[in-house]
Amino acid sequence: MSTTPDDIDRMARDIVRHHATTFAGFAPQPTPASDTQEPVYQAALQACSTLGFIAADALCLARAWQARTQRTGQFSAADWPDDPRDFGLRLRNGPHVFAACPMQLGLYAVLPDATWVQRMAHAGVPTVQLRFKSNDPAAIAREVAAAVQAVRGTPARLFINDHWRAAIEAGAYGVHLGQEDLDALQPADLQTLRASGIRLGVSTHGYAEMLRADALGPSYVALGAVFPTTLKAMATAPQGLGRLAAYARLMKAYPLVAIGGIGAEQFAPVRATGVGSVAVVRALLNAADPRAEAQKLMALMADGPSAR
């Protein structure tokens, strides 16, 4: 029996009804053009757009819903897609993957200079990132080298934001790249990064970007921004805890870092989503006693469900 437009609308309404509470707070988005006439695909595309997912992410979810329906032989509106097979994820399988890092990266401090890196590394923060803003190559090289020196003698893992050539040259543990940084990479650059043995963390802000990151075989995946942040202009809306939990279920084979507007009061619900690391910026930089605040946040990490 053929499926009618009314049947597609009914399936879409069922999806929305089951998941509206989880993904509340997002304005409905225009439904993108469908590239298939499969009814489940069309229904999921319509529903995910209604739930506020941008076009690129709604298309990913529609394909996954269709793939799961074909794989299992039945349509389920109640079950949100979170099986990597239905998204075509590689999950670090294959020869072209970056060096591994621990699944639990712990408290992850994002810091503006080498002085801050030294302060937090010596406070016991397990993972630190140098996010140094400059257009001066010499200044960048000096700051990255100073940050690498700053973590020597500590267990801290140092990631360098953006400046991957300087990170390789200085012998940093890893590099963190955003989506714009990935856009700027040439194939030869990617090969240089892989060949260096450096670890790679990638920022993501939704399903399409998670799939893009997975294709690179990164060392970890950052998920955000979870909450509103004033530190940088964000191209996407804050993702919230409902989406974060869905992302964490899908990407659980990776070390996961939640980032964006997270303070001590949000640690418990963020950790409950299953992420193994929480990144903080203002919570440390604006603290009256950053070392004491770091100790408090590390204790919250140790108390979280993913630590058990």
- Residue 114: which CATH number? 3.20.20.70
The amino acid that residue 128 corresponds to is V
The per-residue pLDDT for range 68-109, each reduced to its tens digit, is 999 999 999 999 999 999 999 999 888 889 999 999 999 999
For range 108-115, the mean pLDDT: 98
More confident residue, 229 or 275: 275
Q: Domain check: are 74 and 158 in the same one?
A: no
Region class of 220: left (phi > 0), else alpha (psi between -120 and 50), else beta: beta
CA of 43: how far to CAs of 39, 58, 68, 190, 219, in Å?
A: 6, 11, 14, 38, 35
pLDDT at 96: 85
Q: Domain check: are 194 and 60 in the same one?
A: no
> Does any domain span residue 239?
yes
Q: Domain check: are 269 and 234 in the same one?
A: yes
pLDDT at 308: 40
pLDDT at 233: 60
199 close to 98: Cβ distance less than 8 angstroms: yes
For range 134-163, the mean pLDDT: 98
> Does any domain span residue 25?
yes
pLDDT at 237: 83
**Closest to 144 in 3D by CA, of 126, 112, 167:** 167
Q: Domain check: are 116 and 45 in the same one?
A: no
What is the percent of the chain where pLDDT is above 90?
91
pLDDT at 94: 81
Q: Domain check: are 186 and 53 in the same one?
A: no
> Does any domain span residue 308?
no
Q: Domain check: are 43 and 174 in the same one?
A: no
CA of 204: how far to CAs of 82, 169, 180, 235, 260, in Å?
A: 16, 26, 11, 11, 11
For range 236-249, the mean pLDDT: 94
> Does any domain span residue 221?
yes
Name the CA dihedral angle for 264, 268, 270, 274, rounded to a multiple of 10 degrees.
140
For range 134-140, the mean pLDDT: 97
For range 284-301, the mean pLDDT: 97
Q: Domain check: are 121 and 79 in the same one?
A: no
Average pLDDT, the chain: 95
Q: Domain check: are 33 and 125 in the same one?
A: no
> Does any domain span residue 243?
yes
> Does any domain span residue 255?
yes
Number of domains in the chain: 2
Q: Domain check: are 121 and 246 in the same one?
A: yes
Q: Domain check: are 155 and 258 in the same one?
A: yes
Confidence class for position 118, pLDDT limits 50, 70, 90 = very high
258 close to 224: Cβ distance less than 8 angstroms: yes
> Does any domain span residue 114?
yes
Tell me which of 68, 83, 98 is where a domain ends: 83
The CA-based angle 88-238-33, given to 5 degrees, is 50
pLDDT at 234: 59
271 close to 305: Cβ distance less than 8 angstroms: yes
- pLDDT of 307 above 80: no
**Closest to 62 in 3D by CA, of 79, 82, 40:** 40
Confidence class for position 35, pLDDT limits 50, 70, 90 = confident
- pLDDT of 306 above 70: no
Q: Domain check: are 70 and 208 in the same one?
A: no
The per-residue pLDDT for range 181-239, each reduced to its tens digit, is 999 999 999 999 999 999 999 999 999 999 999 999 999 999 999 999 866 665 678 99
> Does any domain span residue 27?
yes
38 close to 21: Cβ distance less than 8 angstroms: no
pLDDT at 305: 59
Domain that holds residue 63: 5-83
Q: Domain check: are 67 and 118 in the same one?
A: no
